[in-house]
Structure 1
Amino acid sequence: MTVEHGVEPAIRADARRNRALILAAAQRALAERGTAVSLAEVARRAGVGAGTVHRHFPTKAALLEAVVQHRVDRLATLAADRLTDPDQGAAFFAVCTHVIMTTPGNKDLCDLVQSDDGWPRALLRGAGNRFHRALGALLASAQRQGAVRRDVVVTDVLDIFTGCVAIQRHRRAEDPLAPAVALILDALRTHPSPVTEHPTADRNETVDGNETSAPCAVCGTPVRRPPTGRPARYCSPACRQKAHRLRNGSRPLTTDR
């Protein structure tokens, strides 16, 4: 049987379109329902027949691996594309934020990838290597521009992703980046934002964190600042009375003999 001219390329294009539809549907279904979702449900969401899904992905394991590979490849492409941005520091932190913000919805997939159940991972290793290379190149470029600390390596960034994703999972998908995550990412900068720097010692705070005014005019003890009204001049009624006696020319009481 011969294939008419132009039919075979059309069939290949149709197959590519179906594969893309299946992967997109599987990504959404897995994010919503976890790895328990059936291939039939994926087929329904993709608008294709169950046989079409099975032709592309004979087993659920094959589909799960393809979904993760597709996501990691998209992250690798994102990182590689940002290498042309004029501000490499902004590009690096934008990629970091995107990874952290979009990963919590793929929790079950991430857990499956990190498990040790023997399912195929050759595709994942290749995609992971591509992402690591692209992220490493973006990190190095941001460091050359002076935006990221020179002592940071790509494995540090990957470890930070793990911790930040765990923090972000406690927030809703529509919520912004968690403040703790923003602080962690800011620590990667060569010059962190002032909000993340430690307070200086001259803030004149007591041990319990209450703000203080000038020292007591009599004994020099720090005086707690009241929430309203004028700052107090004396630390206690005793010092206030002693100051009153001194002003009136009275000899202060003393235990000296």
Structure 2
Amino acid sequence: MERLRAVMARLRAPDGCPWDREQDFSSIAPFTIEEAYEVDEAIRLGDRQALKDELGDLLFQVIFHARMAEEEGVFDLDDVAEGMTEKLIRRHPHVFGDGHYDSEEAQTAGWEAIKAAERAEKGEHSALDDVPLALPALARATKLGKRASRVGFDWPDRSGPLDKVREELDELQEAMDEDQGRARLEAELGDLLFAVTNVARHLKLDPEKALRQCNAKFERRFRAVESGLKAEGRNTAGASLADMDALWDAAKLKETGND
């Protein structure tokens, strides 16, 4: 770690790398997000060597941000590590202290109480205060729903969010039927998507993961449609929707026998 920190300092030195020297927190932030996604991809692929490499890339992002903060005299990597250590100890009194939880629900309630106290110290008072605005919309919707649920604002069972999906779908259909304009349609579509994340939460499923799997399935089957047309000496430009639907159904049947 010390060698890595020394390399980062050298890159940022006056006679270091021009590209590294001209970066700031805002310019590096997109790379930090990208590296986090690449860590996720390596995990999903089960590639441990790639995971090691991607974790290194992500660690470099932490080192980069910490170095820039150190140059400003705000904090350094040691401060980052110390802050994280103290947070972990504070949030796990049942491991590092004399706390005790009788159930997973009690532990969740305790966790929320500790985080609420932390938010209050920072002048934040809502359960939603520290849900990052920069999160992808699907992930943020899921997190907002979880936060609200933890303080009791939720349906008692999965039938509630399912009914809400049906309600929002009807409202979207109504907006479409009445041709109420783009803004209303966008609002109703947003309501529907948010309602779907609540269904996922009640099913204890990750909607992001579910959608990624659906994307992969769609891509796989559409490529099969293209391959089928190519085998016939055609392409999508020269095929009818019925032709492509037939090839899609064949690809679906070949995969699972159903959908």
Question: TM-score range, shorter-chain basis?
Answer: under 0.3
Greater relative contact order: 1 or 2 (C-alpha under 8 angstroms, separation 6 or more)? 1
Choose between structure 1 and 2: higher helix proportion.
Answer: 2
Which has the higher Rg, Structure 1 or Structure 2?
A: 1
